[in-house]
Structure 1
Amino acid sequence: MKNNALIAFILMLFPSMIFAASMRISPISVEILDTQNASSISLYNQSNESIDLQVRVFEWTQKNGQDVLTPTDDIAVSPPILSLQADDSFNLRVVRVDSTPVLNEKAYRIIIDELPKPIDHRKADQGLNILLRSSLPMFITNKNATSKIEGKINTVSDNSFAVINNTGSRHILLSKLVIIDKTENKSYPIKVTTLNGYLLVGQTKNYFIENFKYQQSHQYMISTTVNGKDTEL
């Protein structure tokens, strides 16, 4: 249990880093129906030297607005370790081991790590050896699952938050979040990215509203983009 917690903590330090220009991945998010058994991810090595990669899959849940990753055997990747030559590509196979129908949606993270090069002790100074990591979201979805979102403004000790609740049966990704004071015609944008914009099924997140003071007599609206669709709350 302690090892699993340590792994999850380490992965959370790099939740969504995409490889540098030498490495390209497509798609950057995997979504398949629960009636499907497999998918694939294309890896492109655009550098002039080979790279060694390790691929792992973790079940992805959220608790108190924070991501939690847990090792799982539900999904298998083939191969889990590979060497990609310079200017070469490879199609990574992603297979559902557990093919049980999904009621709503299950979420996973596919973690792709670049492994370090062997150390050549004959060289005096080899510089800093930096490993790169990519974290790709993966969803197994029931065809009837739908997105639904609710939002409100909550104030605690003079600090105001946009409270966003995923009440649907599939994940939502916020790519824009703005509080609009319709009384004074002012806007208060909140920065959302793929790092903090995902809300899994049944989850709630609080987003701090900067330079904002809630006034009960004012009329407010939350403008957001959910899964690429503009929405007003």
Structure 2
Amino acid sequence: MNINFSAGENVKAIYVNNTGTDPISAQVRVYQWTQQNDTDVLTETQSLVVSPPMTAIPPGKQQLLRVILPAPVGPAEQSYKLVVDELPGATDNSGKHAVRFLLRYTLPVFINTPQSAPDMSDFKFYLDTHSVPEKLRIVNNGAEHLKLSNVILSSGEHQVTINQGLMGYVLAHSARSWSLPKGRYSGSTITFTTNDDSTTKTVPITLQ
């Protein structure tokens, strides 16, 4: 799930549900999201805010959160992440010596995303067979993010499924790499779905 602000929108509403049997408390924050050196970088920001920033949700209930854009921004796409962290609670029915893991949820937030589908000519796809492990690298020269899912490498009639479901994002004017499962890879094309469009796309891939 993504949160997308169209031109002129300044608030979005989302709901956080507590499906458990105990009350939960959570802290909600928004970070600016960039990509540097093939790594996601989250930076504190006031360009986008969330209300309320702290919440307590009874069992079986939900909490309305408002993601607010306080001031107009330029026309370029901007990317953020909404992060919901479960906080330690006073109620714990798991037993004295049990280990309880607190949950974290993240949701991408995009502002000024174009309504049209990404132009595949803005992207370069590389298969780095010299790194260990081998890597898939994508360079995004365009002004819109790419959400990559259901990735298949093809060489003639030979196909290798790299990932089923969501693989990740390449932000506007950024690059991203993914380490591949152990093996030897080759391919002349890469097939995938993008940005929640179920239609597959097949484009050339360059070996490095």
What's the TM-score once normalised by structure 2's chain length? 0.81
Is 40-49 or 131-140 further displaced after alignment? 40-49
Mapped partners of 1:165, 1:193: distance in 2:
21
Mapped partners of 1:211, 1:130: distance in 2:
33
Mapped partners of 2:163, 2:100: distance in 1:
32
Mapped partners of 2:133, 2:25: distance in 1:
47
Q: 1:135 deviation in Å?
A: 0.9
Look up the match of 1:40: 13
The question of 1:147 aligning with 2:118 is answered yes
Aligned 8 A contact 2:114 2:144 in 1 = no
The structure in which a higher percent of residues are strand is 2
What percentage of residue pairs aligned between the two structures are identical? 27
C-alpha deviations, 1:94-114, integer Å up to 9, x for none? 1002322332x1111111011
Tell me how many residue pairs correspond in the alignment: 195
Match of 2:174 among 203, 209, 212: 203
Match of 2:161 among 156, 175, 189: 189
Aligned-pair Cα RMSD in Å: 2.6
What's the TM-score once normalised by structure 1's chain length? 0.73
Mapped partners of 2:7, 2:106: distance in 1:
22
Q: 1:89 deviation in Å?
A: 1.6
The question of 1:67 aligning with 2:40 is answered yes
C-alpha deviations, 1:18-41, integer Å up to 9, x for none? xxxxxxxxxx32111142100011
Q: Which runs of 5+ in 1 are unaligned?
A: 1-27
Mapped partners of 1:223, 1:144: distance in 2:
22
Aligned 8 A contact 2:23 2:91 in 1 = no
Distance 1:151 1:46, change over 3 A: same
Look up the match of 1:91: 64
Q: 1:159 deviation in Å?
A: 6.9
Distance 1:159 1:127, change over 3 A: closer
The question of 1:30 aligning with 2:3 is answered yes
Q: 1:165 deviation in Å?
A: 2.1
Aligned 8 A contact 2:137 2:176 in 1 = yes
Aligned 8 A contact 1:165 1:203 in 2 = yes
Q: 1:79 deviation in Å?
A: 0.7
Q: Which runs of 5+ in 2 are unaligned?
A: 204-208
Mapped partners of 1:158, 1:45: distance in 2:
42
